[in-house]
A and B are shown apart, each in its own frame.
Chain A
Amino acid sequence: MTTWTTRRQLLKGAGVLAAAAAAAPILAACQQTPTTPKGGSGKVVVMTDPNEFNDNDRKTLEDATKLKIEIVASDLTRLYAMYAAGNPPDVFRVQAAGVPQYISRKMIKNLQPYFANSKLLKPDDLAPSNNFYKWDGKVVGKGDLYGMVKDWSPDYTLFAYTKAFDDAGVKVPSDSTPLTYDELRALANKVNRKTAGKRVYWGFVHSNNDQWIDRTAMNMLAEKGQTLYAADFSKLNISGNPEALKVIRFLYDLAADGVQQTPTDPSPNWMGADFNNGQVAMLQYGYWFSAMAESDLTKGKTVFLPAPTWSGVRRDPTMTATGWVVSAQTKDPDAAWAVFEQYMGGKPALDRAQSGWGVPGLKSLYKEMPQQSAFQKQVQKVLQGELSNADFVLQFNPYLSEQAFSTSWVKNLEPALKGSITFDKFVQNVETEVNAAIVDGKRIVGN
């Protein structure tokens, strides 16, 4: 009765198994559940960027708190998976755009009582950017504190590569008088350069290309007291708001000018690397980039400029407010807070301030920022001016994920720039897609 498996059966079997397993990996990806043992065990799981949190930081915090710290690399998909498994990290790194959403969904802990009793993190000493971690259910910047920036920058400032201006025979803008966005666009077109179809200089590259385009639009609109979303965040309103339409048209035209990196004219590199390679005339990044703006090529040829204005009103808040929050599901909130507090107000905070990779989250540490080299001094001069215009927040939509707007923008910008769809259709598509996402988000939280 011995039965042999024939080659036909083997191949058929393999085919069936392959088909059965076909959808498994991607479907199963939704179910991945990393394990993070924690809870009253003297161990705190921190999800953060390993580039910002080295082994020395971990040891310093472990010594200060007598807790063991486990680091998990920041990864949004992994964070979702850990939440889905009911086992999120105790402390995790976020950007401001996600905060209202996390609070609305009861994912992060209200830290107001901890701040009220902290010896290291005093309310009067908190930099204005920490207001991004306040949400009262209606407005960003009001209510209790749910987190804190690790450091921050007024993010709408510009770095100019003077050689690009010299090559174009154009004067480098003043570092004491801000440009208007219209002047910026005109300048970008003048210094933008291609030779024989190959890129020499990008005229202007804005923060993270289109990834943060909604933040740029929100800040421009705020100069006129306008918002991108309806007051109750129930709707993205561009076509029904002439001021919003003007801002979006401007940003679209800037992309169509061919002076910046777009889906139809991308760079294979990160824009910061492009600046270091002497390929970007004006780059819109915050103070933090000054720590690396001077490469061998750009050293002595880089100038820090104030943020441009849309209608003459100075506003230069952070657009990221990158920081930490504590999970509402942490089993040991006191331990999580101890690590949080030391990282934000202890030696690691001092080290970060002195490194020059961002404005400290505590005003008392501002004086620690480096100002030795001529460039650092010039940066500080401009920065001090910007800090007085940084006490603003952006009204991020609590029903949208961080990338919902920019994903729709990029997806539709490509066919628009290629001429497949008109500008009006572009706006309509973005509105339709983002509003659909808002409806989904509202439904999830039961509004």
Chain B
Amino acid sequence: MTGAARVLDRPVARIAPWRRRGLRRAVTFYLLISPWLIGFVLLAAIPLVMAFLMSLSNYDGLNLEYVQFVGLENYVRAFTDPDAQHALGRTLLLMAVVVPLSLTLQLALALMVNQPIRFTSLFRTIFYLPYVIPVVAAAWVWKIFVDPTGGLLNALLGVAGAQVNVRWLVEYPTVVLALLTIWGAAGGGMVVFLAGLQGIPAEYREAAMIDGANRLQVTRHITLPLLSPVIFFNLVTGIIATLQILVQPMLLAPGILGLSPGTVPPRDNYLYAVHAYLEIFVKQLFGYGSALLWLLFAVVLGLTLVLFKTSRRWVFYGIEP
């Protein structure tokens, strides 16, 4: 009691209560985010700066004794590297295919498991399962699934007709990669969409139905517009994730080495991150590889900014508190 009185006597105690609350809230906020913030600075921000410095050098990853500053040479090289251009083209193509299909599937699954039907939880678990399977295991399963000799896919297709001997990973490697990517990401996106769907007040839909709207019209004119911020979020993160794909094409490549410098994916699955990885760990061009990745970052940032610009036209934040 005495102590409290002494504290109250100090000038600082005359700070308005709302300001004290604000300070406390700020301190709490920064304390709560500090684990992530510290991790981001130490494990991402500082390495990012180091990687940028590396991109201006001829560093080979092995011996600092031979490091030389090469200016923008690595960046110039990237623009004349036919493999980098090929890889970027394949990556953008994969993104253009995978992102819309992924979003559509994720939304469809979310709409399905949002219905008041029996065994909803079971379906949600089943659909979510691929998302938690390690990518190495998933790729291995797919590799066996599409194997021309003993694979299930050809066997299933064979049931419907004549003998099927499609060499999926040779003739359609990008199709397999796209399917693996879409399948693996479906559960995660579904959960985000589901959360968004459950945040839409039921009154809106009910009011529309009382006014005579059918299910399709409710989805088209009520659900989707109110869900657009979530669609936007999944779109941005989906694009970023697709542009960074590295492990899946390496794991689907011929051989059993997986993500190691000896692996070379088929030309159709030779993506940008794969090219950067091989430049770094096969040719030991750490400087050039870093420049490639910084250019990828620029592409990602550019696409994200364009999306943010266009989002004003189609993202509807109608039910903010």
Residues of A within 8 A of B (CB): 1-2, 4, 6-8, 11-12, 14-16, 18-19, 21-28, 30-31, 76-77, 80-81, 83-84, 86, 105-107, 196-199, 209, 211, 261-270, 401-404, 406-407, 410-411, 414-415, 437, 440-441, 443-446
Contacts and interface: CB of A to CB of B under 8 A. Distances in A.
23 contacts: A2-B18, A4-B321, A8-B320, A11-B230, A11-B232, A12-B308, A19-B301, A25-B244, A27-B48, A30-B289, A80-B61, A80-B286, A197-B163, A198-B149, A211-B255, A263-B170, A263-B264, A268-B143, A401-B284, A407-B262, A414-B267, A415-B267, A440-B285
A27 B297 contact: yes
A77 B44 contact: no
A107 B270 contact: no
Contact of B236 (A6, A15, A23): A15
Given A18-B236, A18-B240, A30 B47 contact: yes
Interface in B119-146: 143-144
Contact of A19 (B169, B286, B300): B300
B290 interface: yes
B304 A19 contact: yes
B254 A23 contact: no
Contact of A26 (B65, B165, B244, B267): B244
Given A28-B48, A30-B51, A21 B40 contact: yes
Nearest to B166: A197
A197 B284 contact: no
Given A30-B47, A196-B163, A401-B284, A411 B267 contact: yes
A403 B285 contact: no
B99 interface: no
Given A81-B61, A83-B63, A106-B65, 19 more contacts: A14-B233, A15-B304, A15-B307, A19-B236, A19-B300, A26-B296, A27-B48, A30-B50, A30-B290, A196-B165, A197-B165, A209-B255, A263-B254, A265-B167, A267-B254, A268-B143, A268-B144, A402-B261, A444-B58
Nearest to A28: B47
A22 B294 CA distance: 11
B44 A28 contact: yes
Given A80-B61, A403-B262, A411-B267, A1 B285 contact: no
Given A263-B254, A266-B170, A401-B283, A86 B64 contact: yes
Given A196-B165, A199-B149, A23 B233 contact: no
Contacts of B47: 24, 27-28, 30-31
A31 B233 contact: no
The 7 lowest CB-CB distance pairs between A and B, nearest first, are A266-B254, A197-B165, A23-B297, A31-B47, A28-B47, A24-B44, A27-B51
A234 B11 CA distance: 78
A411 B270 contact: yes
B89 interface: no
Nearest to B43: A28
A202 to B, nearest CB: 11
Nearest to B59: A84
Interface size, B (range): 35 or more
Contacts of B294: 23, 27
A406 B282 CA distance: 10
B110 interface: no
Contacts of B165: 196-198
B266 A6 contact: no
Interface stretch (B2-10, B202-210, B214-222, B273-281): B273-281
Nearest to B22: A1
Nearest to B298: A23
B48 A83 contact: no
A8 B43 CA distance: 28
B15 interface: no
Contact of B281 (A11, A14, A77): A77
A76 B240 contact: no
A327 B256 CA distance: 29
Given A6-B317, A84-B61, A24 B304 contact: no
B34 interface: no
A106 B148 contact: no
B284 to A, nearest CB: 5
B28 interface: no
* Of listed A2, A30, A105, A414, residue having the most chain B CB within 10 A: A30
B107 to A, nearest CB: 16
Interface centre among B47, B246, B283, B285 (most CB of A within 10 A): B283
Given A23-B294, A105-B66, A407-B282, A77 B261 contact: yes
Contacts of B143: 268
Contacts of A24: 40, 43-45, 47-48
Contacts of A441: 284
A23 B163 CA distance: 45
Contacts of B66: 105, 444-446
Contact of A263 (B51, B236, B266): B266
Interface in B234-251: 236-237, 240, 243-244, 246
Contacts of B18: 1-2
A26 B273 contact: yes
Nearest to A86: B64
A197 B293 contact: no
Contacts of B22: 1-2
Nearest to B21: A2
A24 B285 CA distance: 19
Contacts of B51: 27-28, 30-31
Contacts of B283: 401, 404, 437, 440
Contact of A107 (B62, B229, B257, B267): B62
